[in-house]
Structure 1
């Protein structure tokens, strides 16, 4: 009985905890989102695994300098005319023999291919480190963009809710004026229609906000059961003045962004591939050695005595000189040369893409800061006009249609200001990021 009571108590405790989590979702700051996404996003994890693979390949290439060592053991049975594998005598009896050996080989020279392969694998490891940084930066910028869009949609909900309150008051005034006979029924129904439209806009704004929350959760790799909110930021008036030089930002981006370092290492790795391919024209020199012993049943000596007597050692050099291999080496050299040119073109394309990103962000930042100033003035003017329209409507000097138009104009002005504000923040943060500065709101 006590066990049932304990289990029921634990069940209700978990239920209350789940309800508390649902009613009080965690509020995430931008930095928390970025840090969590970098630690948990599957794209970043995949890049980290690529880096681990590159580290394994580097370890494998370094190990190619070491000698190989193999052990072998054979047990043979034969009947009839045969050659004894131990004594090499011709026998016709039934025999059984045992043979054990250890063989080792080390490459002394292979056209310097081993050294070049080690150098290439090290370059590829360094490239994978920068490629992991590329993915981390991509996730951070995606988080920044979605986070700001989420904040924009969150403030849009407030605007829509304020419009509902205002339109409900206007419906009450319209009803009073209708009862007093000062307006037509069409004016009253228009006020009701506007109130219904504003309620619909609240629903749409909340849905839009939840869609951005879903995108954030996807980037953070959160489960559908996890609830989250975003932390509201304070307006930053310092973003109005853009005092950055576009060319300076671009040059800093070339020094900072890991895409460039990854491209440089890609060229270097392909250059090493060319040296490896050219090594195929040179001879290969290897040192080989082995030790072994054996036992045969046709000998009168004991097993241990035979292993002592038959103990043998062997050491030798082997030289392999390439003469003709169906032009495989020539083809490998040509392919490596082509890949170097392709890597150089890829670097140029990367630099071009970076310049496009910097110039786009710079021009958008200039435009956004001007839009902030203009939209703020438009919002203030529309707000004063709407307040004046409300007073006129209360006095019966304005039609419902004109009041609705004034409210919609004010709403559009508010939305335009919000959009300009968050775009201004976004593009300024991008420019700061391209210079190697942290993303901070």
Structure 2
């Protein structure tokens, strides 16, 4: 009896556990939006995209001249050498010196390294955008799975509570039958035991529901003591239901963001191989240098010395022909080729994986549809059996064991149907994820 009282108190207290927290109603779309804004992994990947953008901009600006200004101010104290009338005179004095310069260099030909590096940076930036989009799909998929699990837990808890209430009413009826002498006292005790068991079942269902709610809240990075309250999902049509398997493969090949990312990474690696080969060609660049200085040993003004007397202008071309560089260039080409080969292998593996995922998702969806039809028939049969056995029990023809088994089968059928509905909905999401069309 003490156990029954404790279970009853826990069951009464459990519904207040969630209400003690702040709850916010969320549709699935709102949950995904919050997840994208607050998910740490998504935010860090989004920040990394800015690095790729700057790398692409840096590669483009490498085609422009590199310009620098220099200025140096120093003082020499001690012996100073001066040439006067053909003689070198050494004096001990202070000499203040200012040196300034302007330097510019632009590549003319470098084996198309800059051109290929610029193209590679564009491919890598675009690949990063597709990677970010695929990460958003992965996050949506995770949120969808947890969101549906919470809705399923809520329904399973409702089934458990309804079953508990029905069995309590059944206990009252059996107690009345016992008083009337229609049933034995053992039937009443058995029903009390069943009610106690169902108290535990309902409590466990409630705990599981709240646990999954907190898991979803953690995924959405909500504030402490704030949990989401998922809303019912609307039915959605599956556009791919009438498509054959080959069309689904082709559709996934066009839509999968991770495949497009891998293809772009492969193209970028090809350009890096070409850029590495360019280092073996002669390098030609043009330059222009302007230098001047001022010295306090000269009595002329600063402006005259810097602008008129001492300026020097140097311009021309610089040619660098690689002869032997300790195989540095060949090693760079080898590394680039290996990276390209690895990118090709990853693309081929991903293509095989996509085919497998699409095929498996299609088969699982069909299996989920068949399961839904079967569980509907199962529930109908269980309801009819429960109705018949309840009437036989009331008339004293059936015993308590038959009644308990019929009730357990009915509850199991209700739970299986709820599970089948959410499984079918989730398998539709899995198919959208495999096709790359999950929003």
TM class, shorter-length: 0.7 to 0.9
For residues 101 and 234 of structure 1, do their structure 2 counterparts lie closer, same or farther at Cα, with a shift above 3 Å needed? closer
Are 1:265 and 2:256 counterparts? no
Unaligned runs of 5+ in 2: 1-18, 83-87
Alignment-derived partner of residue 28 in structure 1: 26
Separation (CA, whole Å) in 2 of partners of 1:437 and 1:78? 73
Q: What is the SS of the residue equivalent to 1:317?
A: strand
- The 2-side partners of 1:356 and 1:345 are apart by 17
| 1:124 Cα offset (Å) | 0.3
Deviation at 1:231, TM superposition (A): 1.3
Cα distance, 1:275–1:177 mapped onto 2, change above 3 Å: same
Instruction: Give the aligned CA root-mean-square deviation in angstroms.
Output: 2.4
Find the counterpart in structure 2 of residue 281 from structure 1: 280
Partner in structure 2 of residue 145 of structure 1? 145
The answer (yes or no) to whether the contact 2:113–2:274 under 8 Å persists in 1 is yes
8 Å contact kept, 1:37–1:220? yes
Of the structure 1 ranges 399-408 and 54-63, higher mean CA displacement relative to structure 2 is found in: 399-408
Which residue is 2:350 aligned to? 350
1:59-96 Cα shifts (integer Å, max 9, x gaps): 11111122222222222333444557xxxx77443231
Find out whether 1:49 has 2:40 as its counterpart: no
Are 1:242 and 1:366, in contact at CA under 8 Å, matched by a contact in 2? no
Question: Is 1:68 aligned to residue 91 of structure 2?
Answer: no
2:183 maps to 1:196: no
Give 3-state SS (helix, strand or coil) of 2:190's partner. helix
Aligned partners of 1:436 and 1:70: how far apart in 2? 49
TM-score, normalised with respect to structure 2: 0.87
Aligned to 2:255: 256
Deviations along 1:124-169, whole A, 9 cap, x unmatched? 0010010011101111122222222222111111110111111101
Find the counterpart in structure 1 of residue 215 from structure 2.
215
Q: Which runs of 5 or more structure 1 residues have no equivalent in the other structure?
A: 1-20
Could you tell which deviates more after superposition, 284-293 or 318-327?
Answer: 284-293
398-407 vs 125-134, which deviates more?
Answer: 398-407
Identify the residue that residue 245 of structure 2 maps to in structure 1: 246
Matched, 1:413 2:413: yes
From the superposition, tell whether residues 184 and 257 of structure 1 become closer, same or farther in structure 2 (CA, over 3 Å). Answer: same
Alpha-carbon deviations, 1:345-403, whole Å to 9, x = none?
10111111111211111111111111111111011110111122222233333222221
Residue correspondences, number: 414
Structure 1 residues 268 and 222: alpha-carbon distance in aligned structure 2, compared to 1, 3 A threshold: same
- SS of alignment partner, residue 77 of structure 1: strand
Deviates more, 1:73-82 or 1:339-348: 73-82
- Most deviating of 59-68 and 264-273: 59-68
